[in-house]
Structure 1
Amino acid sequence: MPAARESLLDAASMALQRRPWPAVRMVDVAAMAGVSRQTLYNEFGSKEGLARALVRREADGYLAGVERVLLAPADRRERLIALAEWIVSAGRGSALVRAMLTGCWSERLPSPTLSAVPSSSAVPAQRRADGPLPSPSDFVALVRDRAVAAIAGPGVSKGDVAELARSCELVIRLSLSCVTAPPGEGGVSELVRIVWPRQVR
């Protein structure tokens, strides 16, 4: 991603921490990034385009974190516990990620439509951002499929993969519930151990 685009997204993210999205002005985002307003419009086309790009970057960052956790050298169960902890941490750490995972968008946040929008952008990254954005159920499926691929191992039967997929989805949904209703002592890792005492080794 070109440096100017990344700087503009960083500036938009910082502006969003200070004021509600409707009060974020394009001219201020450009000034914070140290580029012209024309550069901002060349990259994103509009404020809606900037919002879509910001959401797309947060979605990509969240999924990259999922991948890192799942590739850690640990046994299956510990990787899934780490995945649960990552989901909760990411959801609590970013209002945008929390909104993407739960579908609860406040008036303070940009809330672009999840369906694709017509794009005439010459910028490949913006054309991607103008495409469909993941819904909460999409995130569950994406993370579940990544978890299954990471921990299934060779020679696993179709039946075992199906059972593993159900178990992974259970962990993901349990984690998402902890984003909106934080657990008590022991946190999400203890809940996963209680719910899943034997399934994953």
Structure 2
Amino acid sequence: MMPAARESLLDAAYTALLHRPWSAVRMVDVAAAAGVSRQTLYNEFGSKDGLARALVRREADGYLAGVERALAAPGDIGERLASAAQWTVSAARQNVLVRAMLTGCWSESLPSPSLAAVPSGSAVPAQRRADGPLPSPSDLVGLVRDRAVAAMAVPGMGKGDAVELARACEVVVRLSLSCVAAPPGEGGVEELVRAALPRQAR
């Protein structure tokens, strides 16, 4: 199957999820919305659980790609970390699956695939990846922290500075997650991030 068709199926599944609980989403309706046969859908994902895993994997990847874009933007360390924190808050506000992944709170209306890897007999590489481990909230903290450190580190940085940078990045990630649970007022995320950073990193 073409990657575009897989994306169309995932888009159709996500759209369906916005309108009804996952338990009421039917594979035949997802296939019809994407313009493919139900058999094609099963060939691609294997089962409804396989579709759920692929959907969660795609939304996690999209969230992390947004983090990387924010970290690559022009600006000082404080601005780039604040941008990544703002992206985290807005992504969680706009995407129910991103919010569930970041908080670990999966409502009954959402798919809640096991985060552990499942046996995969799929011949589709993207599905084999989706059948692997899915990220927990602590996994996402580590992934975002490590991406931030990689984006902010400078050649020749001393060990002490590197440790301080990693600590600052983790504080910002955890602060942004607290803003997901209890959003601050307008402009509040950036102010909180700057206040939390060591003076030399602002």
Q: CA deviation at 1:185?
A: 4.5
Q: CA deviation at 1:94?
A: 0.6
- The alignment of Structure 1 onto Structure 2 pairs a total of residues equal to 201
Which residue number in structure 2 is paired with residue 127 of structure 1?
A: 128
Q: CA deviation at 1:171?
A: 0.5
Give TM-score scaled by structure 1 length. 0.97
Aligned partners of 2:3, 2:82: CA distance in 1, in Å?
36
Give TM-score scaled by structure 2 length. 0.97
1:46 aligned partner, one-letter code = S
2:129 aligned partner, one-letter code = R
Which residue number in structure 1 is paired with residue 118 of structure 2?
A: 117
Which residue number in structure 1 is paired with residue 44 of structure 2?
A: 43
Which residue number in structure 2 is paired with residue 95 of structure 1?
A: 96
Which residue number in structure 2 is paired with residue 84 of structure 1?
A: 85
Structure 2 matches for 1:12-161, cutoff 5 A?
Answer: 12-161=13-162
Is 156-165 or 41-50 further displaced after alignment? 156-165
Is 120-129 or 1-10 further displaced after alignment? 1-10
Q: CA deviation at 1:198?
A: 0.8
CA deviation profile, 1:71-104 (whole Å, cap 9, x unmatched): 1121111101111111111111111000000100
Q: CA deviation at 1:170?
A: 0.4
Residue aligned with 2:57, SS: helix
2:91 aligned partner, one-letter code = A
Residue aligned with 2:134, SS: coil
Q: CA deviation at 1:197?
A: 5.8
Q: CA deviation at 1:38?
A: 0.3
CA deviation profile, 1:168-192 (whole Å, cap 9, x unmatched): 1001100000001011343211111
Q: CA deviation at 1:152?
A: 1.1
User: 2:168–2:198: 8 Å Cα contact kept in structure 1?
Assistant: no
